Chains A and B, each alone.
Chain A
Amino acid sequence: SQQGEEDPQALSIQEGENATMNCSYKTSINNLQWYRQNSGRGLVHLILIRSNEREKHSGRLRVTLDTSKKSSSLLITASRAADTASYFCATDAGADSSYKLIFGSGTRLLVRP
């Protein structure tokens, strides 16, 4: 069954604006990851946040994790046209299934020049 669900399904912003995407999941996790997929390409790992972390930064990316609400957000600051892509959150299925990474259906981000 689907573990993570992203919200919104699609987002259109102007270059320079910030983009925020949210992910909700159902069961306990060891970590949560965000991936980017450019059109016609494979997914690329962006950032991993562990269940005992609340916030993590990588360049223009900021990820938060709220395990009490079973949710995470990905913030892209000062967006660029090159950030246009689909963004997926992925969670392991918890302590017994940490080898299985389950993806949501993604948020399609369009950054208008």
Chain B
Amino acid sequence: DTAVSQTPKYLVTQMGNDKSIKCEQNLGHDTMYWYKQDSKKFLKIMFSYNNKELIINETVPNRFSPKSPDKAHLNLHINSLELGDSAVYFCASSQDFGANVLTFGAGSRLTVL
């Protein structure tokens, strides 16, 4: 199946821990994104990479560090987790930079206790 897949789907952890979410797309897209959806369903862009190069960083705390080892993968590492980090994190991809019809993953629900 062609898709954007992200793991894990659910993540429950304690405040102060470090966690990672992985994302892979097999669509051959050049551009990948991380979005955060809060409890009110508001979806906000966090990062975007085009061909492994960071092109958008939306004033996200530097506890969040994205990494793109190749254009098919975009991982999100979060250090020193805080209660306010609890949200659903969505990975997405688009054909190229500016094409901006997005294909989303199913989301990773992070709960920080």
Contacts and interface: CB of A to CB of B under 8 A. Distances in A.
Contacts of A81: none
A102 interface: yes
A41 B106 contact: yes
Nearest to B101: A45
B42 A2 contact: yes
Nearest to A2: B42
B58 to A, nearest CB: 8
A88 B43 contact: yes
A101 interface: yes
Interface in A26-41: 31, 33, 35, 37, 40-41
Contacts of A35: 102
B42 A101 contact: no
B48 interface: yes
Contacts of A48: 101
Contacts of B31: 99
A37 B102 CA distance: 13
B90 A100 contact: no
8 pairs of A and B residues whose beta carbons are closest in the complex: A42-B104, A103-B43, A105-B42, A43-B104, A42-B106, A99-B98, A101-B100, A106-B41
11 contacts: A35-B102, A40-B107, A41-B107, A44-B104, A99-B31, A99-B56, A99-B97, A99-B98, A104-B42, A105-B40, A105-B41
Interface of A: 2, 31, 33, 35, 37, 40-45, 48, 86, 88, 90, 92, 98-106, 108
